[in-house]
Chains A and B, each alone.
Chain A
Amino acid sequence: MDPAPLPFGERDPDPELGVPVPFACTTSYAEAARAAPSIRQLDHRRVTQCALSRVCGVCGSPLGRPIAFVGSPAEADRNAFHFPPCHLECAQALLDAVAPVDVAVLGQPETVDAWVLTTTAAFEYVRPSLEDADRRPTFEPYEVLTSTR
């Protein structure tokens, strides 16, 4: 189902963790659409949609400037994020909401203790290659403007 964009605070909460489910975690598959939304995993079609349509991974409406990325310190160090680009305000609201959650969320392999918020003007969407152990696409910010941990 193609949903209309919706601000983070108005989105359906994850029934297990109580946190609103960002756009990139909602499913694009008709057959799975009736399952309960979860913030644990990313939906890879939604991720690609955000990357190419240039919409926010949190609220689903067109990106602004700067473009924000949220991720683990390891992702920031590699300059390769899995969660799609966001509005700065959306990224902040998302991190405020997931900070107290102590399970792995937003497609992370493990619990993230200290989230990183990076801003940039541009990014590259990198599709996985055969030799990648993690076969998910990543986002490489071009020229990090700010990075807060």
Chain B
Amino acid sequence: MAIADVKEYTHLTEEEVEQIGRELDAIRTEIEESRGAADAAYINRLIRIQRGLAAAGRVTLAVGTQSKKTRKPAWVAGAALLGLAKILENMEIGHNVMHGQWDWMNDPEIHSSNWEWDTAQPAEQWKHSHNYVHHQFTNVLGYDNDIGYGILRMAREQKWHPANIGQPVYNAMLATLFQWGVALHDLDIERIRKREKDPKEMKRQLRQILRKGRNQILKDYVVYPALSGRNWKATITANATANLARNLWSYVIIFCGHFPDGAMHFTEEELEDETRSEWYLRQILGAANFEGGPLLHILSGNLGFQIEHHLYPDLPSNRYAEIAVKVRALCDKYDIPYTVGPLHRQYGQALRTIIKLSLPNHMTSSDDPAPPQRSDTANEPSLDRRRKSDEERPPRRVELGAWTRSAGERSHD
């Protein structure tokens, strides 16, 4: 839908939108004022654990594969430890440090300016493509390149092309090679094609990617295997397995953030003079959470609290769980859709969208979201909730996703 229609869609008056903004500001202030030693201890401990896991994985592979008896279990344990370490480094540490979540500590190392992460994309390019392009233009078609990563059609508003039939295959390739897909993300082929990127900048970015990619390959496929002596092959396959596990995991988590039913896409209108409150509202409508225990949340960089992350990308991730309770209560109070579900269901819906949208719109049914029903308007004539065809719907009111409200939460069954 057009950004200009968000207020109407949520049945909110301008004053209500501003009030919601003030309440969200208050949640932010509360966290900022209570941010301190306990939070610093959390990130320091997590980094120690992550480094311990990585070291244990590398040592297990180098030493354990030397004897024939321990070779197999050492390979499995080494790959698992290393995969876990890479997942923690990318998700809960790297992604969040680069958002500036820990800058307030004034730590020389744990700072958005200095952190370089264990993946192929250079930190500088990630901070542009993710922190700026994705977080500022969240789910705005034509701006946010995270919508399908330039290769998948993820919104019905995107024009169908015969090449989209291959989507299920492209999707599997993207998931498998995710770190390399992300590495090329900020090059933004579309901007190069439209000559919106200075050729000097393109070359600079390419050099950065080649240097970082080369270092990553050297580390995992040359240096550490060499340290394993004659069992270098086992180390190579274990390192490749760890990288693959990290790729699949981060792909699933990222696709659960904005593509389950209920997470909306927007068209550009009025992006320019959006107020803070309207921006907040767009973040809530454009993101989707998933449920799980504390370990699942840590392993996913607390991105199961995607809505909270989008509202406050620079607040420490270990606080998102408590923020979520307040944000959800606020959404209930104002009848704002708050998309949440178990991880498997959220990913299932994203996958269904990928498969559905490989076909032209007229061949698939649209998941038509009914606008939220305000309790104070519940007695008014009910809205037409019949599923409409694309032709029946006014072009500016088409969105992705379907949901019905039940007990303050959207259910997607």
A30 adjacent to B204 (CB under 8 Å) = no
The chain B residue with its CB closest to the CB of A63 is: B113
A2, A142, A143, A145 pick with most chain B CB within 10 angstroms: A2
Q: For residue B196, which residues in chain A have a CB less than 8 angstroms away from its CB?
A: 1-2, 30
Contact with A along B186-216 (1 / 0, CB 8 A): 0000010000111011001000000000000
Residue A128 lies at the interface, judged by CB distance under 8 Å to chain B: yes
**Stretch from A11-19, A95-103, A106-114, A118-126 at the B interface:** A118-126
Q: Are B104's CB and A130's CB within 8 A?
A: no
**Is chain B's binding surface mostly helix, strand, loop or mixed?**
helix
User: Counting CB contacts under 8 A, is B14 at the interface?
Assistant: yes
Residue of A nearest to B276 (CB): A127
CB of B111 within 8 A of CB of A65, answer yes
Closest beta carbon of chain B to A66's beta carbon, Å: 8
- Report yes or no: A1 in contact with B197, Cβ–Cβ below 8 A: yes
Let me know if B277 and A130 touch, CB within 8 A. Answer: yes
B residues near A2, Cβ cutoff 8 Å: 191, 196-198, 201
| B114: nearest chain-A partner, CB-CB | A65
**In the complex, A80 Cα to B408 Cα: how many Å?**
38
**Total contacts A-B at CB 8 Å:** 92
Q: How far is the CB of B105 from chain A (nearest CB, A)?
A: 7
Q: What are the residues of chain B within 8 A of A122 when measuring CB–CB?
A: 100, 103-104, 106
Contact mask for chain A residues 123-146; partner B; CB cutoff 8 A; 1 contact, 0 none: 111111111000100000011010
Chain A residues, Cβ within 8 Å of B124: 55, 61-62
Give me 18 A-to-B residue pairs in the complex whose CB atoms sit less than 8 angstroms apart, sorted by A's number. A3-B198, A4-B200, A48-B132, A52-B127, A52-B136, A53-B127, A53-B132, A61-B124, A62-B123, A62-B127, A64-B114, A126-B276, A127-B274, A129-B18, A129-B277, A130-B14, A131-B18, A145-B106
In addition to A64-B114, A129-B21, 19 A-B residue pairs with Cβ atoms within 8 Å of each other are A3-B198, A4-B204, A48-B132, A62-B123, A62-B127, A63-B113, A65-B108, A65-B114, A67-B113, A122-B104, A128-B275, A129-B18, A129-B276, A130-B14, A130-B18, A131-B18, A135-B273, A142-B104, A143-B104
